[in-house]
Structure 1
Amino acid sequence: MKNKSLLALLLFSLITCTALSQTASIRGIVLDDQNIPIPGVNIAYGAEGTQTNFNGFYELIIPANQDIKITFSYVGLKNVVSTFNLNNNEDYEFNPVLKTDIEQINEVVITTETRKRVEGIVTISPEAIRRIPGANAGVENLLKSLPYVSSNNELSTQYSVRGGNYDENLVYVNEIEVYRPFLIRSGQQEGLSFVNSDLTRDVSFSAGGFQAKYGDKLSSVLDISYRRPVSFGASVDASLLGVSAAVEAASKDNRLTSITGVRYRDNSLLVNAKQTETNFQPVFADIQTYLTYKFTNKFELDFLGNIAINKYDFQPITRQTNFGTIDEPRALVVFYEGQEEDQYETYFGALKGIYQANENLTLKFLSSIYHTQEQEHFDIFAEYRIGEPNTDIGSEDLGDVDFTTGIGNQLTHARNDLDALFINAEHKGTFLKDDNQFDWGVKYTHEDIRDRLEEYEVIDSAGFSIRPPIGDFVNDQPYTPFDAPLEPFTNVRARNDVQIDRISGYAQYSKSFDLGNGEAWINAGVRAHNWTVSGQNIESTTQTVVSPRGQFTYKPEWESDMLFRLSGGVYHQPPIYRELRDSLGQVRPEVKAQQSIHVVAAHDWSFKMWNRPFKLVSEAYYKKLTDVNPYTLENVRIRYRARNNAEARAYGFDMRLNGEFVPGTESWISLGFLKTEENIDNQGYIPRPTDQRLKVAFLFQDYAPTIPNLKLYLNMVYQTGVPGGSPSYADPYVFSELPRLPDYFRADAGFSYVIVDRERTFKDGHFLNVFEELSAGFEIYNVFDRQNSITNTFVRDASTRRQFAIPNFLTPRVFNVRVSAKF
């Protein structure tokens, strides 16, 4: 009897313990009314609770099979209170939206979350990316308003950072590195950026001094996260430049989510407004999808896929460019025959598995495949003449060339084809313990490139074929018969079959602690990169580099909210295929990694002015570069010399002030000073192609006080001119004293009227209730019709044997109409 009673007691205890231990979990992201994750939100039920992390994520364990009232609260935002009754072991996703207590316009926001602020990373609102006008709208358009980012080509999504070139910038989407096409030489060929702003949740950018966990580039990191939807939704954005649409959905249990975006773009509106009269038939289109599935509370699998097809058919007809001075005006008139047919197709797929072992340990496994097939075919014959234009205002022939001083023609030919396949496999891990964080990772990459390069240029002036300015050549006519063979001015022919295998890894440690009367944070880490170049008729070469990096931030216990930050380290850029290929198309596997010692000192001050929040961020930096691989820049095409025969330096100072210049809105002004120069073969320092000395940028938004739904967006950039470059095969030192390109100044304005939004609704049954948001407006690109130039075309005058640097002008003032809707 006693044993039976003991057994019953044990069974009762087991059942009771089992019932008492029955739990369920709630997890998700807490968002504000702009769909931006909020860190530090208090989440409480009874005496239990938690907070959202730096990315707005939370997880809360609650008792199962009973009503639990949970309160989500954050200073300045309305509380959200919900009651849950979940089954045992149920995993429920809940993503509440906390709205502001005060009604305000908040279309453009630069958020600087605590962690990002400490690390020196700027976070840009996706809503700002979608709203700000630009000829090539997207995340890169908004980056160009930051003080350390330079670009003087509105048709291009490429940018340089603190004196670096376009190949020195890392781009990640959902922690997967993405790549750009190789053969593109002109901004108008680029089409679409990889990043689809309709899918974007979070955008982070670092201009230098970044951590070891980021890859091996010299200049910057752009880190994009796509969002996970919580319900069905759709959006459409249409203009005269194209259309984009996105659809998102989630399963009932929120385990499966999907978001898909489709884009089409036609640059005809912009290209047909340029000085060259053309027949232009572009097709730029892509489709992207991001899928997530949560198998268990601890493991989820994500998929990111992209297919992009960019076709560029271009048939130039005529061009007239006026240049020179008022006292000595000049004009170049060109008549064209032939056409260009280019095509760039890219296919990208990536899988990411995330295993949350426990609250302290996160393990990630990533793999991706990138395949690009690129074609660049053209035959263009140009007959040109240089002369003096008619400047008589009363003449019917005003602007026409009256007196010709030089004539010639040019034939350019290309049959360039490239096929590249990149395969990546990577593991990352994070371990948190109190105020300590350990991060590590290892990555393997295999690159397989097949390249056919075949292009030449023949220049004829006044009946004489111009020979290339290389090698010894003597023409002693008429005393000695000329018997040397005719040669094109440039002639490149190569076939390359190259494989590059890379193994890289990193380890870093971060810690926050009290220091004196303030708070401090440190990060120290190291990267290593080993790569082997091999291939057909190539002697296999293996190299290794090691890159230590560190950051230190201190926040004193002052009345003013200030941060002081020092970061830097050794940064290496192991060569990509384009850096291995010299100007004759030959692959040089012995090319070393370029190295930069980078130091950044920064000051961050948050304050109130006019009773509104503002932030001033100031940074001074210095880069010392060795083993530099010199290059020339033609529009957006980079041609490397494939030799580490130069050293360089870059230094400057940046400032950015952002805040509510207009109540309830966010705007900013940027100021940057840069000087960068290089020394090739110890000939002395000359400016690098990206030596952009001074930059001022202004991004402003406003609304009509009496009509708050009528909004204005203004994006304005001023930059001093960069060096004008040099002709093919020329010694850059010979042309280093040429005048720089004219200063770059551009303003883009957008006017939008909000018809429907969350604050403006209509009666039941109204046809506009189908929209969650609806706006319409127009945009003006290059408001002041400024003649900006991207590069120079060098043309010979046979009579004087002079070479004229003739600017290639960018787009004039252009009008665009735009409609946006969300459902």
Structure 2
Amino acid sequence: MKTTTLPFIIFFFITSSLLFAQKATVRGVLLDSSNQPLAGVNVTTGNEGVQSDLNGYYLIEIPSNQSVKVVYSYIGLENVEIDITLKPNADYEFNPVMKVDVVQIGTIELSTRRNKQVEGIVSISPEVIRKMPGANAGVENLLKSLPGINGNNELSTQYAVRGGNYDENLVYVNEVEVYRPFLIRSGQQEGLSFVNSDLTSNVDFSAGGFQAKYGDKLSSVLDITYRQPVKFGASLDLSLLGASGSVEGISNDGKLTGVLGLRYRNNSLFVNSKQTETNFKPTFADAQTYLTYKFNNKFELSFLGNVSINDYSYQPLTRQTNFGTLADPIALLVFYEGQEEDRYNTYFGALKGTYVLSENYTAKLIGSIYQTQEQEHFDILAQYRLGEVNTNIGDEDLGEVEFTEGIGGQLTHARNDLDALIINLEHKGTLTLEENTIEYGLKYTREDIRDRVQEYEIIDSAGFSIRPPIIDYVNNQPYEPYASPIVPYTDIRAINDVQINRISGFAQVSRQFELSNSKLWANAGVRAHNWNVSGKGITSTTQTVFSPRAQVSLKPNWEMDMLFRLSGGVYHQPPFYRELRDSTGAVRPEVKAQQSVHIVFGNDYSFKLWDRPFTLNSEAYYKKLTDVNPYTLENVRIRYRARNNAEAYAYGLDLRMAGEFVTGTESWVSFGYLKTEENIDNRGNIFRPTDQRLKFGVLIQDYVKVIPNLKGYLNLTYNTGLPGGSPSYADPYDYQQRLPDYKRADLGVSYVIVDENNLRESGWLSAFNELTIGAEIFNIFDVQNSITNTFVRDIYTKVQYSIPNYLTPRVFNVRATMRF
């Protein structure tokens, strides 16, 4: 028996090896004319075929030692064909660029690319993101030029969408949810956004009405895709604000790809130009990588990693802020002692396995770990004078405070420390059954937070310590003796050890229909979220919510290229840790999920103007919010009341016209109208902190016709003023004044020395695939925009002045960009 079996086994392995050796491999990445990856491209040879994945990657095996035709086909694009002969086990890389098929452009097709418009998603070119000027350049800088998205702090990467706040936005990188630090209170402390635009291949954004497959937030989804490289490359970006660099490559067998990005940022150029003189020593740096390994045509494993170190050292010296009117100018002069030492160190790692079980079913398993270690330590004594300003032109004391109307001091202290660990494990699947696409997912999240809050504020005016304005400290002298103790104006002390366990999931189905020669696309789904809050001294609390959502899109068979969209549903936002913590620092586990009934109606109209392509995007929306968790907003710090004691609404209209205003470049003009109010404890409607009524944005790319390598980029924003906030302990119903309108223009001018159309064959410039030098002017017109108010009391008239805290003035920057 053994003698007959052994030869058979040897024969089997030899035959299998010979058969295997008769195959060769063709692989690569499929791109469109904008160099964006194309998913779902059919790659066929004979009776065999595969489709490119979400990153445009494909791999197909072909017979060796014979001429084989490989055909690449995609609806609306011209077919690409190659005839190739490969030796056994050969590995050939082919990366075709597929162009628009002018014959088919008039047909009515809802292709994979069109589905983004169908779903109400705006796609932004990463190249525009990298080139557009901004004080904090990146994805978020460009988002703020879109309608319905507001951010009045150029040093912050945070943004508010359609009346929501900064905590209501989802951010994904390659389907992995990413997080922000907790304790940041001002834009200049933020440092770097998680998203590295040097590594980005695709940017999708939805401002509302998004599908059930996206998580449990109320406002928006930012979906980022990092690229899988097809060859070696490197980049370097240098400026007075910092530096960033990236390197990418692919293994010889094409199975392993990787990109690595390093960034460093220093905001001293902006902070040192403000009215407050400071010693400012920040260090904002991170390292980020995205690796993929393709075991075979069916299984791929990817890793996303990030390490971020943010040290913020801030020592204010003096400040003079002039305000008031021409007839009655007033100035606030402040002298400081002390300093602030903050640190935000974050560590993030995620593994994603993708298994293509068949042409009809793909399964994914995603695991991620996020840890943030944060400290906020400061002791700052501010002694101020409030008085009249010398306005006599020609006087040597012009602009100096001559007559003091108020004096006082303020001591602020904090020893806040936070350590958070967030673990996620998620399974997702996509199943195609005839005309139906079914997607589902199940996710477990564990949040472990250890938090110490210890901060106080002492206010002194003319030698008298001011107590907080609450009933316990009412002064009825001389009728009653005043025996209340001297206490800080604010005093928050808490130690929290909180664990939150979450189980969430979704299921949705999509389908395309024929309707009288028109195309109808529909999506319906539901999300469920269960969470439990527990910890030391906390009563364990469990809650569950369900969120049904739906979308319908119609493309009529008209001569005009129009697409109509209706979407909405019931959206919930189960509370994250910051939403559970009230203004005293205590954790309230009973806080409910905020709920929003959201309806969005949209229209996309594509047309030609000046014989160039344009698209007009329009969206009208309405939100009805219940179980609202009111909050106060100071710069970028949000403090919740954690009581679900309000209702709110938001409605508005967003318009954006994008196209080739200048031949060969993409630009757009946007307009947004928003109204959002809240009703706290049934006391009537007041402005929500993010009620920004009007928004205009213009983004223009241009070049000089006689010198086409000389390019210009202009980013204009005009927003009406936000509500200005209120002092500590104040009733928000008594403080409904608004900040001045926000106006800003950023200009970038660059000269292209080397690019893909002008490569050098010899000399030192031959090392570059791209070399660009330029200059940037931020806040061209030097507008004094303000983000918050400081409230100071006049000891004579007892008037409390709201003194604006101004943002950055005009700042110059130089920049050089290199690609190898």
Query: Following the alignment from structure 1 to structure 2, what is the Cα–Cα distance between the partners of residues 337 and 627?
Result: 43
The alignment status of 1:805 with 2:807, answered yes or no, reads no
Cα pair distance change 1:25/1:547, threshold 3 Å: farther
Query: What are the equivalent positions in structure 2 for 1:302-321 lying under 5 Å apart?
Result: 302-321=302-321
Query: Following the alignment from structure 1 to structure 2, what is the Cα–Cα distance between the partners of residues 283 and 443?
Result: 35
1:789 matched to which residue of 2?
A: 786
Aligned length: 799
Query: Following the alignment from structure 1 to structure 2, what is the Cα–Cα distance between the partners of residues 183 and 78?
Result: 52
SS in 2 for 1:188: helix
Cα pair distance change 1:25/1:571, threshold 3 Å: farther
How far the C-alpha of 1:403 sits from its partner, in A, is: 1.1
Cα pair distance change 1:283/1:602, threshold 3 Å: same
Query: Following the alignment from structure 1 to structure 2, what is the Cα–Cα distance between the partners of residues 359 and 101?
Result: 26
Query: Following the alignment from structure 1 to structure 2, what is the Cα–Cα distance between the partners of residues 774 and 21?
Result: 45
- Letter matched to residue 813 of structure 1: R
The alignment status of 1:283 with 2:283, answered yes or no, reads yes
- Letter matched to residue 749 of structure 1: L
How far the C-alpha of 1:23 sits from its partner, in A, is: 5.6
2:813 to 809, 813, 816: 816
2:263 matched to which residue of 1?
A: 263
Is contact 2:28-2:230 (8 Å) kept?
no
How far the C-alpha of 1:434 sits from its partner, in A, is: 3.4
Cα pair distance change 1:510/1:22, threshold 3 Å: farther
2:751 matched to which residue of 1?
A: 753
How far the C-alpha of 1:29 sits from its partner, in A, is: 2.5
Query: Following the alignment from structure 2 to structure 1, what is the Cα–Cα distance between the partners of residues 350 and 74?
Result: 36
1:66 matched to which residue of 2?
A: 66
Query: Following the alignment from structure 1 to structure 2, what is the Cα–Cα distance between the partners of residues 568 and 480?
Result: 60
1:4 matched to which residue of 2?
A: none
SS in 2 for 1:142: helix
SS in 1 for 2:273: coil
Query: What are the equivalent positions in structure 2 for 1:680-691 lying under 5 Å apart?
Result: 680-691=680-691
2:513 matched to which residue of 1?
A: 513
2:429 matched to which residue of 1?
A: 429
How far the C-alpha of 1:480 sits from its partner, in A, is: 5.1
1:130-180: CA deviations, max 9, x gaps?
000000000000000000110000000000000000000000011110000
Give the RMSD, CA atoms, in angstroms.
Answer: 2.4
2:106 matched to which residue of 1?
A: none
Query: Following the alignment from structure 2 to structure 1, what is the Cα–Cα distance between the partners of residues 309 and 274?
Result: 24
Query: Following the alignment from structure 2 to structure 1, what is the Cα–Cα distance between the partners of residues 115 and 27?
Result: 21
2:3 matched to which residue of 1?
A: none
Unaligned runs of 5+ in 1: 1-10, 103-110
1:742 matched to which residue of 2?
A: 740
Query: What are the equivalent positions in structure 2 for 1:547-562 lying under 5 Å apart?
Result: 547-562=547-562
1:380-412: CA deviations, max 9, x gaps?
000011111111222221111111111110000
SS in 1 for 2:709: strand
SS in 1 for 2:181: coil
Is contact 1:112-1:122 (8 Å) kept?
no
Cα pair distance change 1:769/1:77, threshold 3 Å: farther
How far the C-alpha of 1:211 sits from its partner, in A, is: 0.2
Cα pair distance change 1:44/1:504, threshold 3 Å: closer
2:597 matched to which residue of 1?
A: 597
Cα pair distance change 1:506/1:21, threshold 3 Å: farther
Is contact 1:34-1:127 (8 Å) kept?
no
1:224 matched to which residue of 2?
A: 224
Name the stretch that deviates more: 487-496 or 91-100: 91-100
Cα pair distance change 1:295/1:730, threshold 3 Å: same
Query: Following the alignment from structure 1 to structure 2, what is the Cα–Cα distance between the partners of residues 20 and 724?
Result: 71
Q: Give me the TM-score of the superposition, normalised by structure 1.
A: 0.93
How far the C-alpha of 1:89 sits from its partner, in A, is: 8.3
Is contact 1:510-1:522 (8 Å) kept?
yes
SS in 1 for 2:301: strand
Cα pair distance change 1:215/1:785, threshold 3 Å: same
Query: Following the alignment from structure 1 to structure 2, what is the Cα–Cα distance between the partners of residues 267 and 100?
Result: 44
Query: Following the alignment from structure 1 to structure 2, what is the Cα–Cα distance between the partners of residues 769 and 758?
Result: 12
SS in 1 for 2:270: helix
Cα pair distance change 1:757/1:673, threshold 3 Å: same
Over the matched positions of the two proteins, sequence identity in percent amounts to 69
The alignment status of 1:395 with 2:392, answered yes or no, reads no
1:295-331: CA deviations, max 9, x gaps?
1221111011100000000000011111112222211
How far the C-alpha of 1:421 sits from its partner, in A, is: 0.3
Query: Following the alignment from structure 1 to structure 2, what is the Cα–Cα distance between the partners of residues 50 and 255?
Result: 17
SS in 1 for 2:167: helix
Query: What are the equivalent positions in structure 2 for 1:114-513 lying under 5 Å apart?
Result: 114-477=114-477, 481-513=481-513
Query: Following the alignment from structure 1 to structure 2, what is the Cα–Cα distance between the partners of residues 20 and 36?
Result: 34
Is contact 2:291-2:304 (8 Å) kept?
yes
Query: Following the alignment from structure 1 to structure 2, what is the Cα–Cα distance between the partners of residues 76 and 562?
Result: 17
Cα pair distance change 1:91/1:505, threshold 3 Å: farther
Query: Following the alignment from structure 1 to structure 2, what is the Cα–Cα distance between the partners of residues 360 and 101?
Result: 28
Query: Following the alignment from structure 2 to structure 1, what is the Cα–Cα distance between the partners of residues 83 and 345?
Result: 50
Is contact 2:469-2:729 (8 Å) kept?
yes
Is contact 2:29-2:230 (8 Å) kept?
no
Query: Following the alignment from structure 2 to structure 1, what is the Cα–Cα distance between the partners of residues 618 and 674?
Result: 14
1:462-491: CA deviations, max 9, x gaps?
111110012233324456553321010000
Query: Following the alignment from structure 1 to structure 2, what is the Cα–Cα distance between the partners of residues 684 and 721?
Result: 22
- Letter matched to residue 752 of structure 1: S
Cα pair distance change 1:46/1:758, threshold 3 Å: farther
Query: Following the alignment from structure 2 to structure 1, what is the Cα–Cα distance between the partners of residues 66 and 471?
Result: 88
Query: Following the alignment from structure 2 to structure 1, what is the Cα–Cα distance between the partners of residues 662 and 641?
Result: 50
2:722 matched to which residue of 1?
A: 722
Is contact 1:91-1:297 (8 Å) kept?
no
Is contact 1:112-1:123 (8 Å) kept?
no
Is contact 2:248-2:260 (8 Å) kept?
yes
- Letter matched to residue 536 of structure 2: Q
Is contact 1:294-1:301 (8 Å) kept?
yes
Query: What are the equivalent positions in structure 2 for 1:648-797 lying under 5 Å apart?
Result: 648-736=648-736, 738=737, 740-763=738-761, 765-797=762-794
1:742-796: CA deviations, max 9, x gaps?
0001010100100001110223x32111001110000000011111000111111
Query: Following the alignment from structure 1 to structure 2, what is the Cα–Cα distance between the partners of residues 778 and 80?
Result: 41
How far the C-alpha of 1:445 sits from its partner, in A, is: 0.3
SS in 2 for 1:195: coil
Is contact 2:554-2:563 (8 Å) kept?
yes
Query: Following the alignment from structure 2 to structure 1, what is the Cα–Cα distance between the partners of residues 93 and 449?
Result: 44
Query: Following the alignment from structure 2 to structure 1, what is the Cα–Cα distance between the partners of residues 642 and 680?
Result: 13
1:217-258: CA deviations, max 9, x gaps?
000000011001111111000000000000111100110111
1:108 matched to which residue of 2?
A: none
- Letter matched to residue 755 of structure 2: D
- Letter matched to residue 750 of structure 1: G
- Letter matched to residue 168 of structure 2: E
1:460-519: CA deviations, max 9, x gaps?
001111100122333244565533210100000000000000000000000001012200
Name the stretch that deviates more: 665-674 or 67-76: 67-76
Is contact 2:749-2:775 (8 Å) kept?
yes
Is contact 2:38-2:54 (8 Å) kept?
yes
How far the C-alpha of 1:48 sits from its partner, in A, is: 7.7
1:105 matched to which residue of 2?
A: none
SS in 2 for 1:141: helix
2:531 matched to which residue of 1?
A: 531
How far the C-alpha of 1:68 sits from its partner, in A, is: 2.0
Query: Following the alignment from structure 1 to structure 2, what is the Cα–Cα distance between the partners of residues 51 and 611?
Result: 35
- Letter matched to residue 667 of structure 1: S
SS in 2 for 1:758: coil
Query: Following the alignment from structure 1 to structure 2, what is the Cα–Cα distance between the partners of residues 376 and 337?
Result: 17
Query: Following the alignment from structure 2 to structure 1, what is the Cα–Cα distance between the partners of residues 355 and 28?
Result: 16
- Letter matched to residue 754 of structure 1: V
